[in-house]
Amino acid sequence: MARIIGGIGTTHVPSIGKAIADKKHDDPYWKPFFSGFDYVHGWLARERPDAMVIFYNDHGLNFFLDKLPTFAVGAAPEYRNEDEGWGIPVSRAVAGDPDFSWHLIDTLVADEFDITMCQEMLVDHAVTIPMALMWPGERWPVKIVPIEINTVQHPLPSLGRCLALGRSVGRAIESYARDLKVLVVGTGGLSHQLDGERAGFINKEFDQLCMDRLVAEPEALTRYAIREFIELAGAQGVEFLNWMAMRGALTGSVAQLHRNYHIPISNTAAATVVLENRPRAELRAA
């Protein structure tokens, strides 16, 4: 059966792609951010996941404001990137796993999540930047199932709904018959606002609260309505919905293994978190 090894939450700021292309890892501006991935590289090398479910928001590459699903699940053999602007090079494609995708889709719909299923889907910086950060080498060792959450056009799903979506995905992963080691990722955030009067807004205190609660009591975060969350985290800080879904998918006992938080990367409070998922059966046996 498939097993969930843990979760990673990471920022997906596009200019990271340009910094990678320009090899700016040791530049004083970038070092405090990139060095936060040293732990991630060691952990991934030890855990060796085969598959990755990645919750992210599309920023207009595949979906636009005319048709924007609240939740969409990819079921393609491959996910391509295209030129998004931002000065970042076009990423290589990411391999998909259609059989695993269809299992998740079947289980989610049976669980009354009315998702959009996508047999073709472009993925933007919210998928490709985290891939490049987690596996900086030539080869990406996982096949992915991308799950898009609308964080762009209102009305957005609530924090509670995204936590519930993640929980359903977690149950679906664990009912998959293949022996896969599965990593769950949530991208975006933390606090940031890219436009309007509050452009550049960052809220360190609230970011810390969100990361703390996410580990041990994610339900506590569901008390924030979307409007209130945006007031506290900025208009794009609401990308944290992807982190909520990631946390929901961790079905076991969860512990934080690593956290890096650095302000700012571009306009964003950049955060990287690694969460371990210890299956409950393993805990009982111990």
Contact set with ligand DHB (CB under 6 A): 12-15, 59, 188, 192, 194, 236, 239, 266-268
197 secondary structure, DSSP code? T
- 25 in catalytic set: no
Q: Give min distance, CB of 234 to Fe ion, in A.
A: 11
By C-beta, is 86 or 102 nearer to ligand DHB? 86
Sign of CA dihedral 250, 252, 257, 263: positive
Q: Give min distance, CB of 23 to ligand DHB, in A.
A: 20
208 is in the binding site of which of ligand DHB, Fe ion, none (Cβ under 5 to 8 A by kind)? none
By C-beta, is 157 or 188 nearer to Fe ion? 188
Residue nearest to ligand DHB (CB): 266
Q: Which of 12, 59, 103, 192 is catalytic?
A: 192
Distance between CA atoms of 12 and 188, rounded to whole angstroms? Answer: 5
Q: Give min distance, CB of 90 to ligand DHB, in A.
A: 16
Distance between CA atoms of 206 and 283, rounded to whole angstroms? Answer: 32
* Region of residue 65 (phi > 0: left; psi between -120 and 50: alpha; otherwise: beta): alpha
By C-beta, is 2 or 121 nearer to ligand DHB? 121
Token pair 């919905």 is found at 241
Q: What residues contact 270, with CB distance under 8 A and at least 6 apart?
A: 11, 13, 33, 36, 190, 260, 261, 262, 263, 264
Strand pairing category for 3-10 and 181-187: parallel
Best CA proximity match to 189, nearest among 259, 86, 270: 270
By C-beta, is 51 or 152 nearer to ligand DHB? 152
- Quick check: helix, strand or coil at residue 94? strand
- 192 in catalytic set: yes
Instruction: Tell me, by CB under 5 A, how many residues bind Fe ion.
Output: 1
Q: Give min distance, CB of 261 to Fe ion, in A.
A: 17
Q: Which of 103, 125, 154, 262 is catalytic?
A: 125
Subset of 166-205 contacting Fe ion (CB under 5 A): 188
* Catalytic residue ranges: 125, 192
Q: Where on the chain is the footprint of Fe ion (CB under 5 A)?
A: 188
